[in-house]
Structure 1
């Protein structure tokens, strides 16, 4: 028996023909649908990228204990369990986050691996001089943006693109090993994640009128671009998705050529979606986890069951992928794994869970039963207490700063940490769900999530499902306190939040519809963060008013932005805060800095 997983990053369900998109050129995704079972109710869990991959390995949610980070020493790892059980596991990927500080313990769990360089600002090619960067509709700057334009110089041909090289390596592995038994191949492609960099042959499939600036990498923020620019970005995404379709076809061709459908499982999946101007937002993370970002596509072929070109409606999640592969190879999932093998769903559409948990560390904590979606916000504006529980103190692309470790204490052990205590560290989320309030949607009557509900009976039921899921995940007490939920006992009227936060719910609907512009402000709000940090008093005032330290990491990503621009990326930076900061006396700033 053999298995192949093709994992695309940021694969939008609503762009695929299996889920109703009939306007794009994706013949191989149509072909895939005919050869597999299509899942209608697959949801992500721990968001975003690396937390989702930790779920793939461990089969359990992690976002209530930890933000983006490596596999922990106590974590189960599906590919490692397969390897120690005699299954050869091979990873081919261009996903650069595996090689950063916050992902460095994943790839060594496989028997072997290949890394194809160059995606999204991967620190690949070294150029001391500045690259040529065209005028763009994006607000991006900093080292990641610069490095991406260095890397693009080495991708002038499709054959040079890291996506192409990743699938080259995957097809090469299939060709070399198709006659062997007991192997698992994970072909993991960073595309169609932004930047939406593809080639003329892909762009030509989506003709549209556009004469604006370069725009293939939207920021994660409220939309400020013109409608034509928004449409252009969507077409750039569609073009990159067509490139992914071509690559997918190469694996399907190899399965045909070598007769692998008889004994090889195929899983095609993703970690999350991406907002492309819908609801007035770009990206993910800064807004609640709406359907566009959390409701994901999933296709599975199981050669033991021979079910194809059918659909399944049972609620499944990313945490099920690892147990499904373990079960396929006859390896028993561990007791710590919360996911379930999907063979029963494929066979008879059996239910594997009543409700699915999802969210990001410090954000909304959400639950869905397949019909209702309940997004629980924090109970106070401070979004506290919030803590990290880890033995691996690294963020996405940098280590924890010494200041973050000053208040360290030991906690646990938790039931899933293998009798090991962990570090407990005070944490602060970059965003704040309080500004959006607690949300409840009925997907049956409102699939676009345009009409938030105010229903105490449904909220009580969904909040009880949420509490049960949090307890099953051994969620720390601080999260219950942050969310205003009971650590023990049932949810009562005193725990309900929608009525209490209804003003925030209605205000949250308008957050992407700003009626102010930069000309509304005349002083400090028109300074860049790089200018603000030069003055100690301004910097201290910024920290007090906005609750954000101007660290080197923040300045690298956002230093070129003004506080007004920052408010589009961080909705918790309100117009009231901007007005307070704008009123700071001119003499506080460095001489001549203020306009």
Structure 2
């Protein structure tokens, strides 16, 4: 038994042909994959963005209610580590530079071995002291905190010109090399993970030439996080730049499928193709993610799974699934029991017969909207105060994405807990500034059946009360800190919501009973 996870960062469901992408987007190998796997139609994110999602891939439980971006905690259960302890060899090949920053430093050592390809985004890779290194004006829409990243990106691109020099190409080459060298061995897991098609949308000319709008185009390929200020033509060109990079991803996915065909790995190899989240390409008047609520362009993700035990291929699955289900699915495949702190469910029966594993999915970002969907409706609950308080990080690893917490941030920290999943360990409680920009959007409720593009929020007090009750129940299941309820203007339970909450709980328990 072997398993391969091919993970892309910022892979947009609505730009993939198996999910009804525009006909000008070229992703033939994703079509090929869809014919060989179960295609999930209701896969959702959990915690945003990159490293919070990867914590879920290890721990099988949500990150965002308790802390922001950060490493694995001392009390976290890592599915990767559990596999290794059970005799499954685990290997990571990636060009995702966030693993090597302060906020991601404890993930890659969980694997038996790992390989890191340099040069993506603003990876501080090549050193260049000459004045020419700082020539050129960065995108004025990028905050000043990202000037250093832009500086390194301009340097990196001098060393990434030929297609084989691109980090994605090198990552897949190394991943395929691992597959070839170990094809005859048993009980291994490969995580082949590329940062693409994450911005900047920089791709080789061979893929750009497939899109007529990009012929001779040398415009900005790094959209600013925030409202769209560009013309319609500029927005369209940015989408084509994303599509060119996406087609490069598709091409390298095809090489993995080729190797599986060549070595006849379909008979004994689990294949998962997934992402951490999507991306707004001008939809809802915004670029990117994290600045605005998590519309389906970001939250509703593509997911493909081939399980050699059931051999289901070319079929679609409607059951609601999440990122937290993937580590538990891997453990189940290799016969390893998940820990009691893992909240995800194995998707084995869902792949086989579309058996549901949950009635609703919780998702969000620390300090952002807290969202819940039952597959039909999506409810996004906003903070009630403009300062987005009260909000705290609960952690023993106080780091941001690229830095440690400053002494000033730690001045008023307290010791709190233990929480239900910290193995009896108290944690630091540190005040967090959160994201005040999200208050302007307010709480939002959408009916995906009548408004799949989420363009028309609905006002329905009775329905909102039911979704609030569902949200509260899931927050309680995740041991949400009491101030999260206060921040959102909620109470852990109320007379009005109690019946709906209990009904939701019975429904979830019914799913688990059905599974067993």
Please indicate the TM-score interval, normalised by the length of the shorter structure: over 0.9
Q: How does 1:171-190 map to 2 (within 5 A)?
A: 171-190=176-195
Q: Could you say which residue in structure 2 is the equivalent of 1:117?
A: 118
CA deviations over 1:255-289 (Å, ceiling 9, x no partner): 11111000000000000011111121111100000
Q: Structure 1 491/218 Cα, relative in aligned 2: closer, same or farther at 3 Å?
A: farther
Equivalent residue of 2:330, what SS?
Answer: helix
8 A contact 1:55–1:319 mirrored in 2? yes
8 A contact 2:466–2:497 mirrored in 1? no
Offset at residue 379 of structure 1 (A)? 1.8
CA deviations over 1:42-99 (Å, ceiling 9, x no partner): 0001001100000000000010000000000000101100000000000000000000
Q: Structure 1 212/183 Cα, relative in aligned 2: closer, same or farther at 3 Å?
A: closer
Q: Could you say which residue in structure 2 is the equivalent of 1:40?
A: 41
Equivalent residue of 1:98, what SS?
Answer: helix
Q: Could you say which residue in structure 2 is the equivalent of 1:226?
A: 231
Offset at residue 23 of structure 1 (A)? 2.4
8 A contact 1:92–1:186 mirrored in 2? yes
Equivalent residue of 1:187, what SS?
Answer: strand
Between the aligned partners of 2:207 and 2:346, the Cα distance in structure 1 is 37
Equivalent residue of 2:91, what SS?
Answer: strand
Q: How does 1:159-170 map to 2 (within 5 A)?
A: 159-170=164-175
Between the aligned partners of 1:456 and 1:492, the Cα distance in structure 2 is 12
8 A contact 1:373–1:441 mirrored in 2? yes
8 A contact 1:137–1:225 mirrored in 2? no
Please identify, of 379-388 and 101-110, the stretch whose mean Cα deviation from structure 2 is larger. Answer: 379-388
CA deviations over 1:308-328 (Å, ceiling 9, x no partner): 000000000000000000000
Q: Could you say which residue in structure 2 is the equivalent of 1:318?
A: 323
Q: How does 1:181-260 map to 2 (within 5 A)?
A: 181-208=186-213, 214-260=219-265
Between the aligned partners of 1:265 and 1:19, the Cα distance in structure 2 is 22
Q: Structure 1 247/213 Cα, relative in aligned 2: closer, same or farther at 3 Å?
A: closer
Q: Could you say which residue in structure 2 is the equivalent of 1:28?
A: 29
Do structure 1's residue 301 and structure 2's residue 310 form an aligned pair?
no
Offset at residue 190 of structure 1 (A)? 0.1
RMSD: 1.4
CA deviations over 1:11-46 (Å, ceiling 9, x no partner): 000010110013222121111111001000000010
Q: Could you say which residue in structure 2 is the equivalent of 1:515?
A: none
Between the aligned partners of 2:275 and 2:92, the Cα distance in structure 1 is 16
Q: How does 1:421-570 map to 2 (within 5 A)?
A: 421-491=426-496
Q: Could you say which residue in structure 2 is the equivalent of 1:585?
A: none
Offset at residue 487 of structure 1 (A)? 1.9
Residue of 263, 266, 271 corresponding to 2:271: 266
CA deviations over 1:368-420 (Å, ceiling 9, x no partner): 00000000011222211100000001000001000010111111111100110
Between the aligned partners of 1:487 and 1:58, the Cα distance in structure 2 is 25
CA deviations over 1:428-477 (Å, ceiling 9, x no partner): 11334321111000001110111111101110111011000000001110
Q: Could you say which residue in structure 2 is the equivalent of 1:131?
A: 133
Equivalent residue of 1:41, what SS?
Answer: strand
Q: Structure 1 188/295 Cα, relative in aligned 2: closer, same or farther at 3 Å?
A: same
Please identify, of 207-216 and 466-475, the stretch whose mean Cα deviation from structure 2 is larger. Answer: 207-216
Offset at residue 492 of structure 1 (A)? 5.1
Offset at residue 131 of structure 1 (A)? 2.3
8 A contact 1:137–1:214 mirrored in 2? no
Q: Structure 1 341/250 Cα, relative in aligned 2: closer, same or farther at 3 Å?
A: same
Equivalent residue of 2:273, what SS?
Answer: strand
Between the aligned partners of 2:186 and 2:56, the Cα distance in structure 1 is 26
> Where does the alignment leave 5 or more consecutive residues of structure 2 unmatched?
499-516
Q: Could you say which residue in structure 2 is the equivalent of 1:560?
A: none
Q: Structure 1 61/490 Cα, relative in aligned 2: closer, same or farther at 3 Å?
A: farther
Q: Could you say which residue in structure 1 is the equivalent of 2:398?
A: 393
What TM-score, normalized by structure 1, do the two folds share? 0.81
Which of 1 and 2 has greater Rg? 1
Q: Could you say which residue in structure 2 is the equivalent of 1:2?
A: 2
Between the aligned partners of 1:379 and 1:277, the Cα distance in structure 2 is 27
Between the aligned partners of 2:225 and 2:385, the Cα distance in structure 1 is 25
8 A contact 1:210–1:232 mirrored in 2? no
Equivalent residue of 1:403, what SS?
Answer: coil
> Where does the alignment leave 5 or more consecutive residues of structure 1 unmatched?
494-595
Do structure 1's residue 418 and structure 2's residue 423 form an aligned pair?
yes
Offset at residue 351 of structure 1 (A)? 1.1
